[in-house]
Structures are given as structure tokens and as C-alpha cells.
């Protein structure tokens, strides 16, 4: 098969892919789903089901009602509609600075996720209650780090660069980069590039590039893992084609990423993703998380990517580029004043 690169950026991505792979992947001789293009998974659905919602699938009317009550950017009541519920705080007001973005800055979608023609109330499809089956007493000392309060208030630890979340440091978008690529407030677009030997997923936010070597079988893929000492962001991913789907299995994800992830795994866990071309405009994306150190059972989530055409534009993380030195300098100034 002859493959022609469509964009100059793809050449750099594939050169990087070659440099990162621990060994040459094997070309494919079987049918594979065509995943190439630019896609979006934007929706207001969360990984877990909201309180008071009992079913995975709802009608269009029910979906609209649920979506209208979903917080956007940490603010209850959806978008800013001058209804007194979600209005942008006035400068100088008591609540100024205690809320996140208003409508202008976000693009999370306008309704719940649609998967195979159904409105879904959670990405999780198993367990049936739509909740992550976390162990009450994990068998590891793993600690999940939450930066929710810092995001809303701007107040948090600034002892050094590592105290700030990865996204604030413009390193990685934990929830979108993968493994387990979910939607968020904005920049929910992805570019898929396929060759015989690799699949590259260019994640719009932070411009993260997932470069996945493709092998002829699961056994060969697992036999070509990177050394365990290489604890990369986005982990050690290998792929193969099976039952008309791209299957990607990931282990050994950088612990710092996992501490901030909703799909966390320890060094003993794995995430298995399946990409299936459901229609001309839809890729069904299903992932299963397995880790007996953290969860009482394996759990599975499902969402869809929709074809949006066009191309990705650069995501330049200047907020983090400028705020990092300012945040650290401000913290050092406060420390000096308190002495």
C-alpha cells in the first residue's frame, strides 16, 4: 500500500514516531477501519452519571433537560443566559474570581453525547450504574490529585513548578490526551493519521501527539513493549487490528499524569481502547480500564467521535507560558513579605 502524507506536519509526526518506537512495527495485511480525518468528541456528558439520572440512554427531550442543568466551567446552570443563575460575576463583586470561564471562552458541545443514535447520560456503560468502581481501600499508596479548587479560585500551592497541574504548565491535557480520550470545556478535536505501521492521533489541546505502532497481532504487539523504565506521558501504547476495529493497549503511564486522571491506572493496570468506524461520519470509541489495585472490577466507557472535516489549528498554550513565571514569582514575593 502506498501512503501519501496530506500535511507537512504529518511528516514531522511520523519522523518522531520512528524515533520513539522501540522496534519496527509490522505492516498490516488485513482489513482495517479507515480512521483518517479530523474528528470531535465534544459533548456535555461526563465520564460518570449525574445524581438523579437512572438510565444510560434518554430521549432527546430528556437529554436537553439534563444538558441545561450541567455546570459549564464550574458554574451551575449551563451557559450564561442572563437568567440570574450563571451570569458572569461583576468585577469587584464578592464572587469575582471564584468562577471559571463564561460562554465566550468555552465550546463543550450543546447536548449530551450521542453514540450510535442514542443520547447517553454517562460515558461509562459498565458497571450499569455509570460510576467508577473505585476501591474504598486501594491496595497501593496511590493518591489522586485534584486541582478543582485551584481551577475555580486560582489559589493553590506554588512551592515550585511541579506543584502546578500538567495542563497549567502546558505539558499535557490529562483527560484528552489519553489513554482514554474524553471531552472537556474546549478544543475537543483530534486528527487521525494512519500508515501501514503507525497510527498517530494529534490531540488539539496542548498539541499532544499519540504515536502508536501497529503490529500483526496482540501477541506481537505485547512482545514489542518499550522498557519499563520509560514511564512516558500517555504511556506505552501498542496496537493491532481485530474484528474491524483498531485495538490499542496501554500500560506504564507516567505516574504524575495518572494522579490527575479520571482513568487512572497503577504500574499493574492497563487501558484497552477500541476504535470502530460505525458510519461515514462516526467512530465509536470504547475503552476498558483494568487495575485491581484501584478498582473492584474492570470498567468500560463508550463515546463517539464525529467527522468535522477541515484541519486542526495550533493550540498555543500561552496562558501557562506566561502564568508560570508570574505565579512562582508572586509566591516568592509573598514569602519574602511574610518573613
Q: What is the mean pLDDT of residues 310-322?
A: 81
- Decide: residue 148, CB within 10 A, 0-12 exposed, 13-18 middle, 19+ buried: exposed
Place of cell 471559571: 100
CATH class of domain segment(s) 8-44+130-338: mainly beta
- Cα–Cα distance between 276 and 244 in angstroms, integer? 7
Secondary structure element (H or E) that encloses residue 126, with its range: strand 124-126
Q: What is the mean pLDDT of residues 217-241?
A: 95
Which three cell numbers mark 68? 441545561
- Decide: residue 224, CB within 10 A, 0-12 exposed, 13-18 middle, 19+ buried: middle
The confidence score (pLDDT) of residue 261 equals: 85
**Per-domain boundaries in the chain:** 8-44+130-338
At 17-47, the pLDDT tens digits run 444 444 434 444 458 999 999 999 999 999 9
Q: Is residue 317 over pLDDT 70?
A: yes
Report the candidate in 47, 124, 123 with the shortest Cα–Cα distance to residue 297: 124
Which stretch of 29-38, 46-55, 93-102, 222-231 has the lowest confidence by average pLDDT?
93-102
Strand partners, 230: none
Report the candidate in 76, 39, 18 with the shortest Cα–Cα distance to residue 176: 39
| Measured CA distances, 8 to 5, 17, 36, 205, 332 (Å) | 7, 15, 16, 19, 43
Strand partners, 270: 290
Q: What is the mean pLDDT of residues 112-133?
A: 98
At 141-162, the pLDDT tens digits run 667 777 766 766 677 888 998 8
Which stretch of 238-247, 315-324, 328-337 has the lowest confidence by average pLDDT?
315-324
Report the candidate in 114, 120, 80, 118 with the shortest Cα–Cα distance to residue 100: 80
Strand partners, 316: none
Q: Give me the DSSP letters along 299-331.
A: EEEEEEEEE--S-------HHHHHHHHHHHHHH
Report the candidate in 64, 56, 116, 69 with the shortest Cα–Cα distance to residue 303: 116
Q: Is residue 128 over pLDDT 90?
A: yes
Q: Which residues contact 202 (CB under 8 A, 6 or more apart)?
A: 9, 13, 190, 191, 192, 193, 208, 209, 312
Which three cell numbers mark 226? 518499550
The confidence score (pLDDT) of residue 99 equals: 52
Place of cell 486522571: 261
Please, where are the H alpha helices in 136-253?
148-153, 174-177, 218-222
Q: What is the mean pLDDT of residues 195-221?
A: 95
Starting at the edge strand found earlier in the chain, the sheet holding 118-120 runs: 57-58, 118-120, 113-115
| Measured CA distances, 234 to 172, 255, 265 (Å) | 9, 10, 12
Report the candidate in 274, 304, 279, 283 with the shortest Cα–Cα distance to residue 109: 304
CA–centroid distance for 17 within its chain = 20
Amino acid at each position: 500500500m502506498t501512503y501519501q502524507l496530506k500535511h507537512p506536519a504529518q511528516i514531522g509526526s511520523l519522523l518522531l514516531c520512528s524515533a520513539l518506537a522501540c522496534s519496527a512495527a509490522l505492516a498490516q495485511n488485513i482489513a482495517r477501519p479507515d480512521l483518517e480525518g479530523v474528528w470531535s468528541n465534544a459533548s456535555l456528558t461526563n465520564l460518570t452519571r449525574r445524581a438523579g439520572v437512572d438510565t444510560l440512554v434518554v430521549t432527546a427531550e430528556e437529554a436537553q433537560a439534563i444538558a441545561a442543568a450541567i455546570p459549564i466551567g464550574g458554574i451551575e446552570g449551563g451557559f450564561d443566559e442572563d437568567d440570574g443563575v450563571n451570569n458572569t460575576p461583576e468585577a469587584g463583586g464578592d464572587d469575582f474570581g471564584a468562577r471559571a470561564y463564561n460562554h465566550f471562552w468555552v465550546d463543550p458541545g450543546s447536548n449530551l453525547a450521542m453514540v450510535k443514535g442514542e443520547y447517553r447520560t454517562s460515558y461509562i456503560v459498565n458497571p450499569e450504574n455509570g460510576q467508577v468502581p473505585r476501591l474504598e481501600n486501594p491496595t497501593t499508596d496511590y493518591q489522586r490529585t485534584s486541582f478543582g479548587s485551584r481551577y475555580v479560585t486560582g489559589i493553590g500551592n506554588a512551592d515550585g513548578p511541579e506543584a502546578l497541574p500538567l495542563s497549567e504548565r502546558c505539558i499535557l491535557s490529562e483527560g484528552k490526551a489519553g489513554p482514554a480520550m474524553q471531552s472537556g470545556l474546549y478544543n475537543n478535536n483530534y486528527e487521525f493519521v494512519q500508515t501501514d505501521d503507525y497510527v498517530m492521533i494529534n490531540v488539539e489541546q496542548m498539541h499532544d501527539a499519540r504515536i502508536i505502532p501497529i503490529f500483526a497481532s496482540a501477541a506481537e504487539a505485547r512482545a514489542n513493549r518499550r522498557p519499563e523504565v520509560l514511564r512516558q506521558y500517555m504511556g506505552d501504547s501498542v496496537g493491532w487490528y481485530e474484528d474491524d476495529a483498531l485495538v490499542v493497549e496501554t500500560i506504564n503511564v507516567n505516574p504524575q499524569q495518572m494522579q490527575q486522571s479520571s482513568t487512572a491506572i497503577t504500574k499493574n493496570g492497563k487501558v484497552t481502547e477500541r476504535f470502530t468506524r460505525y458510519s461515514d461520519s462516526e467512530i465509536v470509541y470504547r475503552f476498558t480500564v483494568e487495575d485491581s489495585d484501584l478498582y473492584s472490577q474492570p470498567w468500560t466507557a463508550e463515546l463517539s467521535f464525529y467527522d468535522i472535516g477541515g484541519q486542526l489549528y495550533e493550540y498555543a498554550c500561552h496562558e501557562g507560558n506566561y502564568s508560570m513565571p508570574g505565579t512562582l514569582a508572586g509566591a516568592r514575593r509573598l514569602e519574602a513579605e511574610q518573613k
